[in-house]
Amino acid sequence: MTDADNEQPQFSLGEIVTKLPAVRAARKVNVSSHVHRRLITPSGDDDEIAFQHTVFCQAGFPYRNPGDDVRLWQREQGAVSLLVEAGRAKHPKTGQWVELGLPWGTKPRLILAHLNAEAIRRQSAEIEVESSLSAFVQRIRGFNGGREIRMFKDQLSRLSVALVRLATARGDRAFQIDTKVVTAFELWPELDERQRVLWPAMIRLSSDYFNSLQQHAVPLNEADLAALAHSALAIDLYCWLAQRLHRVTPTKPVFITWAALKQQFGPDYGRMDKFKAVFRVALRQVRARYQRAIIELDDRGITLHHSLPPVTKKLVQIKQLPPNPDHANRNPAG
Name 224's Cβ contacts closer than 8 Å, sequence gap at least 6. 43, 238, 289, 290, 310
- The most distant pair of C-alpha atoms in the chain lies apart, rounded to whole Å, by 64
Window from 13-17, 165-169, 224-228, 260-264 with minimum mean pLDDT: 13-17
Q: How far apart are CA 154 and CA 68, in angstroms?
A: 12
What DSSP string runs through 155-223? HHHHHHH-EEEEEEEETTEEEEEEE-SEEEEEEEE-SSTT---EEEEEEEE-HHHHHHHHHHEEEEEHH
| DSSP symbol at 78 | T
* CB distance 103 to 158 below 8 Å: yes
Other CB atoms within 10 A of residue 244 CB: 19
What DSSP string runs through 244-289? HGGGS-TTS-EEEEHHHHHHHH-TT-SSHHHHHHHHHHHHHHHHHH
Calculate ∠ Cα 254-233-211, nearest 5°: 75
Measured between its terminal Cα atoms, the distance across the chain in Å is 40
For residue 66, what pLDDT is reported?
Answer: 92
Among 280, 286, 318, which Cα is nearest to 301's?
Answer: 280
For residue 154, what pLDDT is reported?
Answer: 87
Other CB atoms within 10 A of residue 221 CB: 22
Task: Write the pLDDT tens digit of every residue in 31-79.
Answer: 455 555 556 555 554 568 999 998 899 888 999 999 989 999 988 877 7
51 three-class SS: strand
Residue 20 reports pLDDT greater than 50: no
Residue 190 confidence class, pLDDT cut points 50, 70, 90 = low
Name 60's Cβ contacts closer than 8 Å, sequence gap at least 6. 75, 82, 109, 232, 236
Residue 25 reports pLDDT greater than 50: no
| Averaged pLDDT score across all residues of the chain | 79
Task: Write the pLDDT tens digit of every residue in 230-255.
Answer: 999 999 999 999 999 999 999 999 99
Q: Which of 17-21, 142-146, 286-290 is modeled with the greatest confidence? A: 286-290
Q: How far apart are CA 40 and CA 148, in angstroms?
A: 24
For residue 316, what pLDDT is reported?
Answer: 64
* CB distance 51 to 318 below 8 Å: no
Calculate ∠ Cα 182-187-188, nearest 5°: 150
Q: Where are the domains of the chain?
A: 1-40, 41-327
How would you classify the pairing of strands 217-221 and 49-53? antiparallel
Element (DSSP H or E) covering residue 125: none
84 three-class SS: strand
Helices 13-40 and 272-289: angle between axes, nearest 10 degrees: 50
Residue 326 reports pLDDT greater than 70: no
For residue 62, what pLDDT is reported?
Answer: 93
Cα four-point dihedral sign 190, 1, 222, 243? positive
Q: Which residue has the higher pLDDT, 151 or 12?
A: 151
Residue 144 confidence class, pLDDT cut points 50, 70, 90 = low
Q: Average of pLDDT values for 117-127?
A: 92
For residue 7, what pLDDT is reported?
Answer: 41
Beta strands (DSSP E) in 54-125 are 72-77, 80-85, 88-90, 97-99
